[in-house]
Amino acid sequence: MSLGLDVLTILAVCAGAFFFLAGTVGLLRFPDALCRLHALTKADNLGLGLIVLGLLFQVEGPFAALKLISVWLLTLLAGATVTQLIARTARPGGTPE
Amino acid sequence: MSSPTLYGLCGAVLVGLGLFGLIVHPQPLRKIVAFNLIGGGVFLLFGVVARRGAAAGFGGDPVPQALVITGLVVAFAATALAVALLLRLFHETGRATLRSDG
Amino acid sequence: MANSATAGGFLLVLAIVLPVMGALLSLTLGGRHAERIALILMPVGLTVAVAIAAVVWRAHNVLQYFVGSWDPPLGVAFRADGLSAAMIVTAALLISGIGLFARAQFPAQGGAKARAPLVFWTLLLMVWGALNAVFIGGDLFNLYVALELLTFAAVPLVSLDGRAETFAAALRYLLFALLGSILYLLGTGLLYGAYGTLDIALLSGRIHAGPVAWAAVSLMTAGLLAKAALYPLHLWLPPAHAGAPAPASAILSGLVVKAPFFLVVRLWFDVMPGLPEHAAAQVLGGLGAAAIIFGSILALRQARLKLLIAYSTVAQIGYLFLMFPLAVRPETGHPWATAAWTGGVLQAVSHAFAKAAMFMAAGLIAEALGHDRIAGLAGIGRALPITVFAFGLGGLSLMGLPPSGGFVAKAMLLTAAVAENQWWWAVVVLAGGVLAGGYVFLVLARALADAGEPLTLLSTISRSRQAVVVVLALCAVLLGFVPLRPSELLQIGRPGLPIAVFR
Amino acid sequence: MAFDTGLAVLVLGVAVWTITARDTFAAVVGFVAFGLLLALVWVRLAAPDVALTEAAIGSGVTGGLLLGAHTHLRRTETAAAGELPGAALRLAAAVLCAMVSAGLAAIVLLLPEPAPTLAPQVAANIATTGLGNPVTAVLMAYRAVDTLLETVVLLLALLGIWSLAPDRVWGGFPGPHHDADPQGVLTFAAQLLVPVGILVGVHIFWVGSVAPGGEFQAATILAAMWILAAMVGLVDAPPVSRRWLRILLVAGPAVFFAIGLAGFAMAGAFLAYPPPYAKLLILTIEIPLTLSIAATLALLVAGPPERAPQR
């Protein structure tokens, strides 16, 4: 039972780490700000989501699980907001200030 | 080597790095960033002192930790004032350099 | 030292709390009230300052207060020794004088003109509170906060006029000051790491010569020198002090640069008494000597009056640091060390009065003429005789001619230098005096020259403002009548050094 | 240990990048990353209170401030970069700074063993303060005077920034005005995030007396939420001449001073709390203090008044 959970955790965390890696490579290699943001959001949404999923198999009690999910949701929300803010200044004709 | 010592060495290098940036960079904004880097190094050294002083069931000596919190807030106030001065200078002269008086 | 607060210790709290709370009230109520609050607090603060000095004098001991009844090392102590008392009284007198002078320049106004008065009066009180906090701080980190308070109160004064070049000057001042603070803070951290306390009295008992103490004190000294504008870290000072409005220049040059100097004294004489090496003190003295020579020469070459006065500040700060090689004599407790100690402190006090008077005189001259070019001063001596007289009186102190506080201060440094067989400092003191004479006479000769035709002044300068300037300049002169021997007041709280008797 | 080594190397790498990057934007982004990594270091050093402060103030708000400044100054970059000092001077600076680092490193290795500490004294006295978080006890009781003066420092910095305003806009609105886009994704996201953020801020404040957290961290989060709402256009900064704003800014330090002075009567010393009421009094100080600090931090970021007040 516990072995099965561990395997699931390893798989999910590895997949999450892969998305973080891909997002980072994208951040460094993509040509402009909007593409870079696109790459970053992949790391946030999927990468962190998968890592949280992986960790969920290990937690004890529903409260800790709720905490983990909140972390993911808050990151999503904050990420979405900040990305929009950056995109607004980066957009050619946007409102830089 | 213990890990506090390791971070202490890290703080020592940060101070030197920041100092270098402060001296060498002509742009005031870069100087401000460099100042914050020195600050990071100095605060880290306080943190190391605190960690080494772990006792009485605390993970670190709370006194230097509290000093760092005070210091961080003061450093932020300093950064805000410096940035405001720099922006005002820029809006007034169109330049952002300290060599304006010639 | 008694393990409790001394009676009268609450005066120390008031010295900080009154001006700071006044500043908070000014900020809340706005420009119209700011001036009134400052004017009400001046006599009150002056009374507190004199009371502190009286208590210290009567008790002949250090006045001490533990904030929140928490004993150091856990809590923070305030302490006032003779040196603190002298500086607190100086600050109170000068702030009051500058405040009276500034009434005409920053009158309470509403609307768009409200900015400068509100900022000036609030910052004047803040500078006062911060200075008192520096003078009575007994804890190295508390002193860091006090220093930052002082920096943030001083920097906006530079750009109060809103002229473009003053923003650059203020920014440069801020960057130097911040570097100074962070180096000071670094040293503080190292001292805590090595000795587990930041209390000056406790540290002085625990500290011992070694790499950690040395590194900490060097870093702290270097940071404080940047704030005190000691050569070669003086570059920020002339544009900042010359660019500020005259009353602000008087605060900055007279008082603000004295605070980091005061802390260097604390560090070298109180945190680590007997520890400093002779060689290190010689280095400080050497920098002071370089400041005297280069600052004076640069002052001679200035075309604008306020810049000349600002460069003269660079030079006069140099004298303060001559005190270190002469007063730091750990091995014997040399009797002449006390003379040098009194001379150094007296130089700080008399320069404060003299320089404030000179900056304000220059401000009045610039107000009357619409410029402060030295070449265009002809005739001003006839138009504003009182102001030019005050400038001359201040100049006496800078040159070190009797009767003036500057004379007594420099005479004591000179005598100590000769008596301790360190004659090279005597040469510097004399050369600095000659150079100072050069730049003071340069201004006076122009000002007293005949303009040929009567001057048309842009504005009439009221007698009362000129009177304030003369009174401050006279304070510097009156200090010339203190007896030419080590001051007993300034020795309070010093370890028992034998006192030399001058004949 | 391996984790610590990796983290230290990463911190130094990002720091080197921040200093050496050609582009100022890259340097600022590097600094933000540096701050976040440093927050991790603080966790490793068993200082969660500092970690929160570092992430919120040291990296977050400072980073935002620097990024904002950079968008204004972008055009001046090339001109200023031309003033780079010559190679000889840079080499001299590098040697000097390397010596400073080496000296400091040696000092770190020479620090005495066992390390001196005040932790036992903090622990011995913490009962009289009624607090559970030792860092809060240091900030609000043992060294309360530092904290009091520090809040004044913040206010003073704000007054300094305001003093930079040209006379014609004195008393006006700080910073530029942002228009809200009612249909925008951004507005939607901000409307969702701000209440959650405020909740988090209140939580961090509340737990600060017993667990990591406290007024500075909470105030920073509250300030950040206000800044976000202002950038999105949901709220606008009030004119700096408003009386209620001035009162809000001064209230925290003023209450701190008042209770401090009352300590003369209640407990025989400035900033002393009578033990039975210590926790209550500290809380009475902390609530207005948090609000004042939050307002001050937000306005520090907003900058000097730029738009004239309507008269």
C149, closest residue in chain B (CA to CA): B74
CB–CB of B78 and C172 under 8 A?
Answer: no
Beta-carbon contacts below 8 Å between C and D: 154
What does the pLDDT read at residue C402? 87
Residue D105 lies in a domain: no
Instruction: From D73, D97, D130, give the residue that closes a domain.
Output: D73
**Which parts of chain D register pLDDT below 50?**
none
Residue D171 lies in a domain: yes
Mean pLDDT by 10 residues, chain B (102 residues): 90 96 92 96 96 88 95 95 94 77 40
pLDDT tens for C430-449 read 999 999 999 999 999 999 98
What are the distances in angstroms from CA A26 to CA A42, C353, D27? 10, 65, 19
Helical residues (DSSP H) of C196-304, grouped into ranges: 200-206, 211-228, 237-243, 246-251, 258-265, 278-300
User: CA of B35, closest CA in chain D: separation in Å?
Assistant: 11
Instruction: From D73, D108, D136, give the residue that closes a domain.
Output: D73
Locate C445 and state its tokens: 């000769």
Residue B98 lies in a domain: no
Residue D48 lies in a domain: yes
Q: What is the pTM of this model?
A: 0.94
CB–CB of D72 and B62 under 8 A?
Answer: no
Residue D148 lies in a domain: yes
Locate A85 and state its tokens: 């803010």
| DSSP character at residue C69 | G
Is D6 buried (19+), middle (13-18) or exposed (0-12) by CB count in 10 A? exposed
| Structural domain boundaries, residue B68 | 3-93
CATH number, position B44: 1.10.287.3510
Residue D180 lies in a domain: yes
What does the pLDDT read at residue A92? 55
Residue B76 lies in a domain: yes
Contacts of D21 (CB under 8 A, 6+ apart): D27, D30
Facing A96 at nearest CB: one of D71, D179, D189: D71
User: CA of B100, closest CA in chain C: separation in Å?
Assistant: 7
Q: Report the largest interatomic distance among the alpha carbons of chain B, rounded to a whole angstrom.
A: 58
Portion 73-92 of C in contact with D at CB < 8 A: 73-76
What does the pLDDT read at residue D258? 96
Number of domains comprising chain B: 1
Q: How confident is the model at residue A85 (pLDDT cuts 50, 70, 90)?
A: confident
What does the pLDDT read at residue C5? 54
**Is the bond preceding residue B28 a cis peptide, omega within 30 degrees?**
no
Mean pLDDT of A17-43: 82
B50, closest residue in chain D (CA to CA): D117
What does the pLDDT read at residue D252? 95
Report how far residue C131's alpha carbon sits from residue C115's, in angstroms, rounded to the nearest whole number: 24
User: CA of B39, closest CA in chain C: separation in Å?
Assistant: 7
What does the pLDDT read at residue C501? 40
A75, closest residue in chain D (CA to CA): D193
Instruction: From D40, D73, D106, give the residue that closes a domain.
Output: D73
Report how far residue D269's alpha carbon sits from residue D183's, in angstroms, rounded to the nearest whole number: 57
CB–CB of D159 and C27 under 8 A?
Answer: yes
**Touch between C and B (at least 3 CB pairs under 8 Å):** yes
Contacts of C48 (CB under 8 A, 6+ apart): C11, C14, C15, C18, C92
CA neighbor of C38 nearest in space, from C16, C14, C20, C50: C20
What does the pLDDT read at residue D214? 85
What are the distances in angstroms from CA C175 to CA B36, C59, C171, C227? 11, 42, 6, 10
The overall average pLDDT reported for chain C is: 90
B45, closest residue in chain D (CA to CA): D108
Collapsing DSSP to helix, strand or coil, C186 comes out as helix
What are the distances in angstroms from CA B13 to CA B45, D2, D50, D142? 11, 19, 21, 32
Note down pLDDT in tens along chain C; length 503 residues.
334 456 788 999 999 999 999 999 999 998 788 999 999 999 999 999 999 999 999 988 899 999 999 998 999 999 999 999 999 999 999 999 999 999 988 887 777 678 899 999 999 999 999 999 999 999 999 999 999 999 999 999 999 998 988 999 999 999 999 999 999 999 999 999 999 999 999 998 898 888 899 999 999 999 999 999 999 999 999 999 999 999 999 999 999 999 999 999 999 988 887 666 778 889 999 999 999 999 999 999 999 999 999 999 999 999 999 999 988 765 455 667 888 889 999 999 999 999 999 999 999 999 999 999 999 999 899 999 999 999 999 999 999 998 899 999 999 999 999 988 889 999 999 999 999 999 999 999 999 988 777 778 888 888 999 999 999 999 999 999 988 788 888 888 876 544 444 33
Contacts of D164 (CB under 8 A, 6+ apart): B84, B85, B88, C156, C159, C162, C167, D304
What does the pLDDT read at residue C496? 55
Residue D80 lies in a domain: no
CA neighbor of C355 nearest in space, from C482, C229, C473: C473
**Touch between C and A (at least 3 CB pairs under 8 Å):** no
pLDDT tens for C484-499 read 788 888 888 876 544 4
Portion 6-25 of D in contact with B at CB < 8 A: 8, 11-12, 15-16, 18-19, 24
CB–CB of D196 and A74 under 8 A?
Answer: yes
Q: For C400, left (φ over 0), alpha (ψ -120 to 50), or beta?
A: left
What does the pLDDT read at residue A45? 82
| Structure ipTM | 0.93
Sign (positive or negative) of CA dihedral B76, B81, B84, B90: negative
β-strand pairing of C63-66 with C77-80: antiparallel
B27, closest residue in chain D (CA to CA): D80
Helix D185-207 × helix A62-90 angle, to 10°? 130
| DSSP character at residue C271 | I
Report how far residue C428's alpha carbon sits from residue C249's, in angstroms, rounded to the nearest whole number: 27
Residue D64 lies in a domain: yes
Facing A81 at nearest CB: one of D68, D178, D193: D193
What does the pLDDT read at residue C405? 92
pLDDT tens for C172-195 read 999 999 999 999 999 999 999 999
Facing C115 at nearest CB: one of D167, D257, D261: D167
Residue D96 lies in a domain: no
The overall average pLDDT reported for chain A is: 82
What does the pLDDT read at residue D151? 96
Number of domains comprising chain D: 2
| Structural domain boundaries, residue D20 | 1-73
Contacts of D297 (CB under 8 A, 6+ apart): B76, D57, D61, D154, D219, D220, D223
- Does D25 lie in the same domain as D155? no
| Residue A88 phi, psi dihedral angles, 5° rounding | -65, -40
CB–CB of C171 and B63 under 8 A?
Answer: no
pLDDT tens for C327-378 read 876 545 566 788 888 999 999 999 999 999 999 999 999 999 999 999 999 9
What does the pLDDT read at residue C3? 40
What does the pLDDT read at residue D310? 66
